[in-house]
Amino acid sequence: MSHISGQRILLHKDVPMNDFHSLETIAIDDYLSRGGYKGLSKALGELNPGDIIEEVKKSGLRGRGGAGFPTGKKWELVAAASGDKKYLCCNASEGEPGTFKDRTLIRSNPHQLIEGIAIASYAIGAGKAYIYISEKYDREISILEKGLREAKERGYLGEKIPESEFSLNIEIKKCPDKYVAGEETAMMEVIEGRPAKPWQKPPYYPANKGLYGMPTLVNNTETLSNIPHIISNGGDWFSKIGSPKSPGTFIFTLTGDVKNPGIYELSPGTSLRELIYNYGKGLKNGMVFNAAFPGGPSNSPVTEAQLDTLLDFDSLKGIGSGLGSASVIILGDSTCIADTVLGFSRFFMEESCGQCPPCQMGTVKLFRLLQKIEDGNGDMNDLTNIENTCSFLKGQVVYCHLLKGAINSVEGAVKNFKDEFESHVHEKKCIYKAESTLIKT
């Protein structure tokens, strides 16, 4: 996987969404001069919590953490749930390989996120919020600490925020460097001081019985960073950007075999082809496009024939893939897809928390079968075994979606690129690697 070189390109100059396009961190005075914290002032001064939730519902915003759940609907559930206290958790754990958007948003514009958290907390009635951020993100943690101090000094956080009765305390909570720790109920466990293990759901969901048994709103960093813009400009304004079913902009992390990898904010009316060729500048090292994982390792890869698919939740779902957290990984014709999927399956195997036997055993089985094929030791029965294992695992009850992600990439790769897996079987080697290391006698 290639390394992000740090390009950040604002493609919608007329849409001041997700103001993350500066390489420097935007300081509070700069943020204020750009209209920052006006959304919070409007929310506290002119709107009641119900009005804010209506505005977010009207916007059509869907969560950017992977599942695309309607944000306004989630807020409404938490606001309606009964509990002595309510909490908000901003998910900045960013464990999906190939995603760097949350870190970029925080590094460039921490106040946009803090303002979004404050508005959301007011709307659902939370007096305490957590920013749950990867322990690896030292620089972003320092930026957030400074941002929280500044916001408090200027009266945007703390006891009785001026001109309101609303009080809010935001705490930073470090997240272990584990993919499963980003799952929302594993997050509750970590915040309460226990190991990162997802809950069985139902009966309890964060919205009705989350942190410390209280209703809790969990939203991704990008989701919350959109909120100040929605409240300042109105839900109708937001709903008209991009496509009606996936409005707003999305922040894509483009990696892999492209000449110009980077983080691109685009509207969902953009096709995968445009992202790769217009913004990514095409394939590097003279390679020809072979495959793309438009939703990272947790979603099925797509083929050349599917390149004109629009990058939104429903269009990608329509072709059997998914947008996930918009980690778009491109493979040229000299990169082995079997080896790539083997790497993904190793990741899922190592990240499975071990609570659910189908996940623990299924991820090991998929990894071993793929390893056999990649090493040139597999036969056609192994390929059938992979397909059957995926079908079987899909029917199993597990606590979270980690297993589903592990299945998606393997099943999709074997279905859409079967000839490449078969060639490993027939050739008894991976043709992309030096023969001396792989030919088995």
List interacting residues with ligand FMN (CB under 6 A). 63-67, 69, 74, 91, 93-96, 179-180, 182-184, 218-220, 223, 400-402
CA distance readout (Å), 48 to 52, 53, 164, 289: 7, 9, 11, 51
Tell me the three state secondary structure of residue 286. Answer: coil
Residue 63 vs 248, nearer CB to ligand FMN? 63
DSSP assigned state of 262: E
Q: Cα separation of 6 and 239, whole Å? A: 29
Rg of the Cα atoms in the chain: 22
**Dihedral over Cα of 207, 210, 216, 221: its sign:** negative
In whole angstroms, how close is the CB of 60 to ligand FMN at the nearest point?
Answer: 13
Q: Cα separation of 365 and 410, whole Å? A: 12
In whole angstroms, how close is the CB of 259 to ligand FMN at the nearest point?
Answer: 28
In whole angstroms, how close is the CB of 220 to ligand FMN at the nearest point?
Answer: 3
Residue 167 vs 355, nearer CB to ligand FMN? 355
Residue 91 vs 389, nearer CB to ligand FMN? 91
In whole angstroms, how close is the CB of 403 to ligand FMN at the nearest point?
Answer: 9
Q: How many Cβ atoms are within 10 Å of 197's Cβ, its own excluded?
A: 18
Q: Are 121 and 2 in contact (CB under 8 A)?
A: no
Residue 168 vs 218, nearer CB to ligand FMN? 218
Residue 148 vs 323, nearer CB to ligand FMN? 323
Q: Cα separation of 411 and 298, whole Å? A: 11
Closest CA to 312 of 56, 62, 7: 62
Q: Are 111 and 36 in contact (CB under 8 A)?
A: yes
Residue 227 vs 258, nearer CB to ligand FMN? 227
Residue 219 vs 315, nearer CB to ligand FMN? 219
DSSP H or E run through 218: strand 216-220
Q: Cα separation of 58 and 67, whole Å? A: 19
Residue 76 vs 150, nearer CB to ligand FMN? 76
In whole angstroms, how close is the CB of 246 to ligand FMN at the nearest point?
Answer: 13
Determine the residue type at 4.
I
In whole angstroms, how close is the CB of 438 to ligand FMN at the nearest point?
Answer: 32
Tokens 């509750």 map to which residue?
188
In whole angstroms, how close is the CB of 46 to ligand FMN at the nearest point?
Answer: 25
Determine the residue type at 40.
L
Pair of tokens at residue 414: 């074997």
Give 250's strand partners: 266
Residue 162 vs 354, nearer CB to ligand FMN? 354
In whole angstroms, how close is the CB of 168 to ligand FMN at the nearest point?
Answer: 19
In whole angstroms, how close is the CB of 8 to ligand FMN at the nearest point?
Answer: 20
In whole angstroms, how close is the CB of 223 to ligand FMN at the nearest point?
Answer: 3
Residue 94 vs 257, nearer CB to ligand FMN? 94
In whole angstroms, how close is the CB of 154 to ligand FMN at the nearest point?
Answer: 27
Tokens 């941002």 map to which residue?
147
Q: Cα separation of 386 and 373, whole Å? A: 10
Residue 91 vs 216, nearer CB to ligand FMN? 91
Q: Cα separation of 8 and 327, whole Å? A: 15
**CA angle centred on 315, ends 309 and 319, rounded to 5°:** 75
Helices (H), 210-336: 221-225, 227-233, 235-239, 272-274, 313-318
Q: How many Cβ atoms are within 10 Å of 270's Cβ, its own excluded?
A: 21
